[in-house]
């Protein structure tokens, strides 16, 4: 998979060189290219923002550097990512919610482009223009505000990247995760069986695989009911008799 990122803080993405995704890049599973939006600015100060038409607080990102950056990325896309148009993602608190289902969808794509906005936003015409180059999606991590798209893009890249075949060593570890089956994950324990007066649940020491599986499932449902009742069908959120 190829991932291009456009940002005024390209060094933010240096951490993609470490850990699991860094190894995936070394192994050629992931081709990440980070672009400095200011390389596409044309005045002496390399400015990428200006005051909003109609007035109001803050600055708005100018359309020209975005147009040029996206043109350049998409022009180089066909050559090495096939003929499928890229998915162009603009992280935004005003976007649709990003979820594990979104991550699974995006993991099947050959080419993702992340456009990271700062300040009060990007000139609206950029989204419209980007839709002539690729499939545009505005995506939010949740109902809170970050200073810009960088941290959100990083979270999405990690969530998508780990689903690419071969990135996570043991594919089985991908399925027993929170959200993969619509429930939170079950609690995990390791040795010692007794630690500071706290015991590992007996059932896990029993060696009885069916009972362990039943217990884990019940724990998943119970935790989800307590912490995230919004994830359960209404019937399962009723107080237990």
Site residues for ligand 6GU per CB under 6 A: 91-93, 139-142, 144-146, 148-149, 152
Residue 10 or 93 with smaller CB distance to ligand 6GU: 93
Residue 146 or 164 with smaller CB distance to ligand 6GU: 146
Instruction: Give the integer Cα–Cα distance in Å for 74 and 203.
Output: 55
CB of 92 to ligand 6GU, least distance (A): 5
Instruction: Give the integer Cα–Cα distance in Å for 3 and 127.
Output: 18
CB of 93 to ligand 6GU, least distance (A): 4
Instruction: Give the integer Cα–Cα distance in Å for 145 and 161.
Output: 24
Residue 23 or 179 with smaller CB distance to ligand 6GU: 179
Residue 94 or 234 with smaller CB distance to ligand 6GU: 94
Please list, in sequence order, all residues whose beta carbon lies within 8 angstroms of the beta carbon of residue 152, skipping any fewer than 6 positions away.
91, 98, 116, 139, 140, 141, 146
CB of 98 to ligand 6GU, least distance (A): 7
CB of 180 to ligand 6GU, least distance (A): 22
Residue 7 or 92 with smaller CB distance to ligand 6GU: 92
Place of tokens 């850990």: 19
CA count, 13 A, side-chain hemisphere, 73? 31
Tokens, residue 179: 């959200």
CB of 119 to ligand 6GU, least distance (A): 10
What is the secondary structure of 147-212 as a DSSP string?
A: SSHHHHHHHHHHHHHTTSTTSSS-THHHHSSTTTTSSPPPP---S-SEETTEEPPGGGGS--HHHH
């Amino acid at each position: 998979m190829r991932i291009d990122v456009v940002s005024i803080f390209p060094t933010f993405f240096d951490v993609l060189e470490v850990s699991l995704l860094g190894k995936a890049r070394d192994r050629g599973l992931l081709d990440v290219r980070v672009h400095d939006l200011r390389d596409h600015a044309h005045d002496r100060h390399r400015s990428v923002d200006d005051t909003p038409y109609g007035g109001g607080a803050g600055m708005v990102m100018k359309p020209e550097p975005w147009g040029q950056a996206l043109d350049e990325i998409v022009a180089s896309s066909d050559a090495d990512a096939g003929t499928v148009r890229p998915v162009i993602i603009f992280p935004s608190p005003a976007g649709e919610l990003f979820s594990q289902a979104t991550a699974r969808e995006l993991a099947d794509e050959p080419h993702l482009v992340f456009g990271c906005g700062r300040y009060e936003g990007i000139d609206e015409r950029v989204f419209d223009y980007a839709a002539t180059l690729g499939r545009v999606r505005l995506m939010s991590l949740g109902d809170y505000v970050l200073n810009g798209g960088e941290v959100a893009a990083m979270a999405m890249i990690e969530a998508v990247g780990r689903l690419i075949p071969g990135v996570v060593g043991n594919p089985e570890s991908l399925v027993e995760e929170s959200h993969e089956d619509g429930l939170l994950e079950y609690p995990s324990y390791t040795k010692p069986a007794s630690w500071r007066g706290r015991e590992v649940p007996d059932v896990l020491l029993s060696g009885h695989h069916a009972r362990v599986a039943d217990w884990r499932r019940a724990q998943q449902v119970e935790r989800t009911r307590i912490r995230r009742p919004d994830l359960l069908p209404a019937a399962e959120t009723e107080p237990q008799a």
